Structure 1
Amino acid sequence: MKCTVCEIGCDISEGNYGRCNMYTNQNSKLIERFPNSYLTVLPITIETMPMVHFAPKNKFLQVSTVGCNFNCQGCISETLTSNADALSGALTKASPTDIISRAKTEECRGIVFCLNDPAASYYTFLNLAKEAKKANLWVGCSTNGYFTETALKSLIPYLDFVNIGLKGSSNARYKECGAKSAAPVFRNIRILHEAGVHVETSAMYINAGDEEILKAAEEVASVSKDIPLQVMRFVPFGEAKPELEPTINKSEHIVDQLRSILNHVYLFNSPGTEYLTTKCPICGNEIIKREFYGPMGCRTIESLDEGKCPCGWQVPLKGPINNEQFTEYGMLGGYRTTRAIEMAHAILFTLGIRDNEELGDILGDIIKEDFIRGLHDRIQQIDSWLELIKDLAMRTGREKEGNELIAFIQERVDKINEGSKLIKSCPTVYYSMGYPLFALNAERFETNLVEAAGGICVNKSLTRKGKPGVNISVNEINKLSPEMMFISGFLSSPASDYVQYCKKHGIDNKAVRIGNICNVPTGWDFGSPRWILGFMFLANTIHPEIYSFDLENEQKEFYKRFYGIDVENVVTNRDFSRPAITTTK
């Protein structure tokens, strides 16, 4: 029989599954394999979804399942979308009544399905949406928009808002993700918009993909120039090649071009960018000011009353701006949750767990809200990081491998601690992510490593917190007066762009004047046990008179012992769990 949920239209024979692996043919009926079963049920702010022009700062209950009807290279949710069977053990049964009760208890204004595509759990989402509307809750989702017209029209009466994730504009680009063509997506945007559903779009901006995103914007503009477009700067996860990642600077240039096509275009995955803020097109006032708030997310930090400029221009919002800002704890909520899962995966990988079925069984056991909640605190200090490795090694029967990894790390930590006794003076150090004005939080692991390596981290004086940091002003960074500046190895920018930004914005301190600005190597400062390489890099850089770790040999040994690969045959990516893309010579 033919599946009618999405336009891929799988022909599913009796007892078999469709492309997304989430539906089966049972007695000539299309049956959802894991009905009313959720991987996450967490409260979030709507900008984390992300959604920028619908009920800003309001609190929603995020639900997600597993599986997806697409297979896109570099997917941020790959762990959830590609391992449906393996992760099924982590799913928790919950009826629509259960979910609605949780939303009410958490004082949420609505329910949003995101992280994986609702097409993978269509009937579960449809039934939940129906009951949520009866309970006077808003309902929305983030989707690739590949529903059949029939499936979409059945869902529309219960939808208030939707984010359509565009893969590009061409049929070729959609075929890369396993779809047939681009047309159904743009058709569905028009159907949703004309039905009165609040529509926002998001699109990955891939290096050399200017034409794809520009033409996609033109397609959206043909429906309405007021539909917001969220430009997601591509970050190479999984097997995606590093050269596909555009710089923040280059991404801002494409946003400038896109703003000549659509009225509201924003840049995500770019810490420190000013291109998340809504400005009045008449007088240039900042109406809604936002900052980076984790992968694929943002946060409203300031707004004029109801999004209205003193000159009278109104941001086209649907729903009120909430007075209070809900703050998700740690990595709970939004796409930060996928990073937490990947961190656990990263440790398991170094313990030698490579088989997908075994990995899925283990992840299914640990992907629980309490584990993810506790994970955030356990990755902020060296000792607790080592305890986390020990914990996962014991859970998986890999005590020997865990002890070997811990011993490798501890030996190098001890050498740095021993060298610290020779330090006569500690330079002041600033740690940023992306652009200079996005400062990592005071208690972050990276800032703790700086101090353990003999620096005085000026981030420690910052009191406001974000995910994983906050925007600060030029005056603030100049007052911090760092002698050294480090750029995170995750969601990074080239040092040359960083310096250019400093000059353009009047950032003037000793580090800038003497050019003491360093990129931490990709994947070495956060998210995986490779942080020990970054720790040695920091020690070498902050105190070259004391430390002289041979980082090339250290990397070779780490990769060989804990990944089983030769470093000469890899290309480093941004992925936590998989260290690099293996190449052949």
Structure 2
Amino acid sequence: MRCTICEVGCDIPPGATGRCRMYTNDGTGIVERFPDAFLAAFPVAVETLPVLHFSPGSTFLQVCTVGCNLTCGGCVSEVLVGNAESLAASKIALKTDDLLRMAAGHACTGIAFALNDPIASFPTFCTLAERAKEQGLLVGCSTNGYMTASSAERLAGRIDFANIGLKGASDASYCACGATSAAPVFRTIRTLHEGGVHVEVSIVFRKSGEAEVLEAARMLAAISPEIPLQVMRFVPFGDAGLGEEPTIYASEDLCDRLRGILPWTYLFNSPGTAYLTTVCPACGTPCIEREFFGPMGSHLSGTAQTVCACGAALPVRGSVSTEVFAEPGMMGGYRVTRGLEMVWAILSCLGVRDQAALARIWGEVLRSGMLGKELHERMNNVDAYLDLVMDFAHRTDRVEAGQDLCTYIRERLAVIREGVADAPRPRVYYAMGHPLFALNPGRFEGKLVEAAGGTYVNRAIGREGKPGVTIGREEFLAFSPEYLVTSGFLTSTVEDTLRYCSEHDLAVPAVRNGQVYAMHPSWDFGSPRWILGLMTIANILHPDRFSFDIEEEADAFYRRFYGVPYRAAAANRSFAHPGTER
């Protein structure tokens, strides 16, 4: 029997499942394997979904299940898609009634399905949407849009907004994700738009993929030039390599070209970029200011008005919320998947490979609320991190492996702490992406700077974002850092950092003296590999006291805790994986 929910159109024999593994043939028809079963739910600001032109600043209950009908390289939701069956079977499900109570309890404007694709739980999502509407809630979702015409029509009658995630404009871009054609997605966009749904479109931009994105923009403009376009600068998670990641500069240049086709074009995954702000088309005044807020997310950061002072109205539905919800810890948008991957990063070093064991721990983390304040705080403290390692070691009966990992880290940490006890402490500034996007005062990277014998000047910043905030030129100059380091996550090259500093006249000592560094991917946060980052920083700040052979140390770590040579693993931005195969 053929499944007619999505365009993959799986032919499912009785008792079998289709590609997404979320539907089966029960002998009478195609049914959900896990009906009315949601994995997680938490309140978020609408910009972290991300949706930019719909009720700015409003709070929505973000919900997810597991699974997806496509298989895309570098998936940001790898945890939920690659381990779908184990997670679905882990018996931690929330019901529709639970979600409605949570939405009311958090005074949410509505409910939004994101993180995995609602097409994997389509009947369940439609029922939730109907129930939510009955209670006066708005409903939205993020979806890849690869659904049948009948599913799109059914969806159009039940939601108020949607973020459609394009893979490109060509059939080839969809074949790479296990589909056959881009046409069904553009059909879905048109169906929803013409059905009165507020539609925004996100598209992945991979290195050298400008032509694909520009063609997609032209196809969208033919539907409506007022559709907001969110350019997702590709960040290589999962099995993707660094060679696919474009720079922030290249991404901003592309956005300039795109705005000649779709005027409401925005750039994500690019800390410090100005291309998240909505600017009045009549006078150029910033009307809705936003800044980076974790992978694929943003947050209001200043002025927020849907009508400019000059009188021009912006194509934004709904009013601006007077109170913007601030997600705690690792909550909010796709930061949740990164939080789960940080847990996976520890489990991976402990040798936990079994999907059922991984799903059990992820389930415990989600059910207990650890992703909020607790996990965030323990992940952001050097000594507490080691306690967290042993916590998960005990939960998985890997105590000996946990002790081995902690011993490895503690021995090197002790050498560094002893070596800098009486050392001068140079001023170090830590950025992410653009130099003026400063990491938060309490971030883990700053703890590494201090452990390595430096003064973390970011501590003087009196405000916080996630993972940081954009600061002004004068504030940066006042820090007068002797060293400038950019994070290993969503980073910029040294060349781009120096270029930015030159263009903005940021002539601090670090720039004048060539003391600008880009950290190795995922060596300074999110994985036990941070010990390699600590040794790297110690070498930089105190070359007279430390001469760690980083290549040798990395090879020892990778062989001991991943079972592969360091040189066999090409780095990417994932926390859990040692890297892709060379």
Q: TM-score, normalized by length of structure 2?
A: 0.98
Aligned: 1:322 with 2:321: yes
Q: Which amino acid aligns with 1:285?
A: T
Letter in structure 2 aligned against 1:151: S
Q: Hey, what does 2:487 align to over in structure 1?
A: 488
Q: How does 1:202-217 map to 2 (within 5 A)?
A: 202-217=202-217
Counterpart residue identity of residue 193, structure 1: H
Deviation at 1:357, TM superposition (A): 4.1
Q: Quick check: 101-110 or 354-363, which moved more?
A: 354-363
1:157-207 CA-partner distances (Å, limit 9, x unpaired): 221000000000101110111112100110111111111100000000001
Q: Does residue 4 of structure 1 match 2:4?
A: yes
Report if the CA contact (8 A) 2:57-2:300 is conserved: yes
Quote the residue 1:568 is aligned against: 567
**Does the CA-based 8 Å contact 1:54-1:318 persist in structure 2?**
yes
Aligned to 2:176: 176
Matched AA of 2:332: G
Q: In the TM superposition, what is the alpha-carbon distance from 1:94 to its structure 2 partner?
A: 3.4
**Alignment partner of 2:181: what SS?**
coil
What root-mean-square deviation, in Å, do the aligned CA atoms of Structure 1 and Structure 2 show?
Answer: 1.2
Equivalent residue runs for 1:446-457 within 5 Å: 446-457=445-456
Deviation at 1:91, TM superposition (A): 5.1
Task: Show CA shifts across 1:539-573 (max 9, x none).
Answer: 11111111111111100100010010011222111
Match of 1:552 in 2: 551
For 2:237, the equivalent position in structure 1 comes to 237
Within-5 A mapping of 1:456-471: 456-471=455-470
Q: Work out whether residues 14 and 27 of structure 2, in 8 Å CA contact, stay in contact via their aligned partners in 1.
A: yes
* Letter of the structure 2 residue corresponding to residue 258 of structure 1: L
Instruction: Please give the residue correspondences for 1:161-560 in structure 2 after superposition, counting only pairs within 5 Å.
Output: 161-304=161-304, 306-373=305-372, 374-423=374-423, 425-560=424-559
Q: Structure 1 residue 82: deviation in Å?
A: 1.6
Cα distance between partner residues in 1 of 2:30 and 2:92? 22
Q: Is 1:39 aligned to residue 39 of structure 2? A: yes
Provide closer, same or farther for how the CA distance between residues 153 and 369 of structure 1 changes in structure 2, counting only shifts above 3 A.
farther
Q: What is the CA–CA distance in structure 2 between the aligned matches of 1:109 and 1:312, rounded to whole Å?
A: 27
Q: Which residue of 1 aligns with 2:48?
A: 48
**Matched residue type, 1:171:** D
> How much does 1:323 deviate?
1.0
Relative to structure 2, which stretch is displaced further, 352-361 or 425-434?
352-361
State how far apart, in whole Å, the 2-side matches of 1:25 and 1:76 are. Answer: 30
Residue 62 of structure 1: aligned partner: 62
Whether the 8 Å contact between 1:38 and 1:91 is mirrored in structure 2 is no
Deviation larger for 295-304 or 88-97: 88-97
Shift of residue 350 of structure 1? 0.6
After superposition, the C-alpha distances for 1:64-90 in whole angstroms (9 at most, x for unaligned) are: 000000100000001101211111244
SS of residue in 2 equivalent to 1:222: helix
Question: Partners in 2 of 1:361 and 1:290 — Cα distance?
Answer: 37
Letter in 2 for 1:511: A
What is the distance in 1 between the residues matched to 2:569 and 2:358?
22
* 1:28 shift after superposition: 2.1
> What SS does structure 1 have at the residue aligned with 2:302?
strand
Q: For 2:204, give the aligned amino acid.
A: M
Shift in Å, 1:326: 0.7
Say whether the 8 Å CA contact 2:92–2:367 is kept in structure 1: no
Partner-residue secondary structure (3-state), 2:273: coil
Counterpart Cα distance in 1 of 2:252 and 2:94: 42
- What is the deviation of 1:371? 2.4
1:114 matched to 2:139? The reply is no
- Structure 2 counterpart SS, 1:158: coil
Would the aligned equivalents of 2:39 and 2:93 in 1 still touch at CA under 8 Å?
A: no
Distance 1:89 1:13, change over 3 A: closer
Structure 1 residue 353: deviation in Å?
1.6
Secondary structure class of the residue paired with 2:199: strand
The amino acid that maps onto 1:185 is V
- How many Å apart are 1:309 and its aligned residue? 1.7
Check the 8 A contact 2:306/2:319 in 1, yes or no: no
Q: Counterparts of 1:466 and 1:365 in 2: how far apart (Å)?
A: 27
Shift of residue 17 of structure 1?
A: 0.3
Q: Deviations over 1:239-259 (max 9, x none)?
A: 112100000001111111111
Offset at residue 95 of structure 1 (A): 3.4
Q: Is the 8 A contact 1:524 1:531 kept in 2?
A: yes
1:3 is matched by which residue type in structure 2? C
- Please tell me whether the aligned partners of residues 164 and 202 of structure 1 are also in contact (alpha carbons under 8 angstroms): yes
User: What SS is found at the alignment partner of 1:92?
Assistant: coil
**Residue 27 (structure 1) aligns with:** 27
Amino acid at match of 2:224: S
Contact 2:357-2:396 within 8 A present in 1 as well: no
Partners of 1:437 and 1:471 within 8 A in 2: yes
* Contact 1:86 1:364 survives alignment (8 Å): no
Deviates more, 1:441-450 or 1:95-104: 95-104
Amino acid at match of 2:427: T
Using the alignment, how far apart are the partners of 1:569 and 1:41 within structure 2? 39
**2:581 corresponds to:** 582
For the Cα contact (< 8 Å) 2:68–2:81, is it kept in 1? yes
Relative to structure 1, the CA distance from residue 115 to residue 479 in structure 2 (aligned partners, 3 Å threshold; closer, same or farther) is same
Instruction: Give 1:508 shift.
Output: 2.5
Report the residue type matching 2:291 in the other structure: E
**What secondary structure is seen at the aligned counterpart in 2 of 1:490?**
coil
Give distance in 2, aligned partners of 1:581 and 1:332. Answer: 28
* Distance in 2 between residues matched to 1:309 and 1:481, nearest whole Å: 37
AA matched with 2:431: S
Displacement of 1:227 in angstroms is 0.2
Contact 1:146 1:184 in 2 (8 A): yes
Cα distance in 2 for partners of 1:405, 1:227 equals 50
Counterpart-to-counterpart distance in 1, 2:554 and 2:523 = 10
- Which structure 2 residue ranges, 5 or more long, are not aligned? none
Matched to 1:63, the amino acid is: V
Structure 1-normalised TM-score? 0.98
SS in 2 for 1:275: coil
- CA 1:87/1:150 → structure 2, altered by over 3 Å: closer, same or farther? same
Question: Deviations for 1:328-354, whole angstroms, at most 9, x for unmatched residues?
Answer: 001012100000110111111111122
Percent of residue pairs bearing the same amino acid type:
50
- Report the alpha carbon displacement of residue 96 of structure 1 after superposing the two structures with TM: 2.6
Instruction: Say which SS state the counterpart of residue 302 (structure 1) adopts.
Output: strand
Once residues 95 and 389 of structure 1 are traced to their aligned partners in structure 2, the CA distance between those partners, rounded to angstroms, is 32
SS in structure 2 at match of 1:93 = coil
Equivalence for 1:77? 77
Distance 1:571 1:97 in 2: 46
482 and 91 in structure 1: CA distance in 2 versus 1, 3 angstrom threshold:
farther
Q: How many matched pairs?
A: 581
Tell me the distance in 1 between the aligned counterparts of 2:530 and 2:567: 20
Q: Cα distance, 1:368 vs. partner? A: 2.8
C-alpha distance in structure 2 between counterparts of 1:134 and 1:430, whole Å = 51
CA distance in 2, matches of 1:500, 1:381: 33
1:245 is matched by which residue type in structure 2? Answer: E
Please state how far the C-alpha of 1:97 moved relative to its aligned partner: 2.8
Looking at structure 1, the residues matched to 558 and 98 of structure 2 have their Cα atoms a distance apart, in angstroms, of 46
1:363 Cα shift? 3.1
**SS of 2:223's equivalent?**
coil
2:272–2:436 Cα contact (<8 Å) kept: yes
| Greater Cα offset, 63-72 or 475-484 | 475-484
Give the residue type in structure 2 aligned to 1:123: P
Classify the secondary structure of the residue corresponding to 1:313.
coil
Separation (CA, whole Å) in 1 of partners of 2:132 and 2:364: 30
Work out whether residues 89 and 361 of structure 1, in 8 Å CA contact, stay in contact via their aligned partners in 2: no
Q: Secondary structure at the match of 1:67?
A: coil
CA distance in 2 between counterparts of 1:532 and 1:408 reads 9
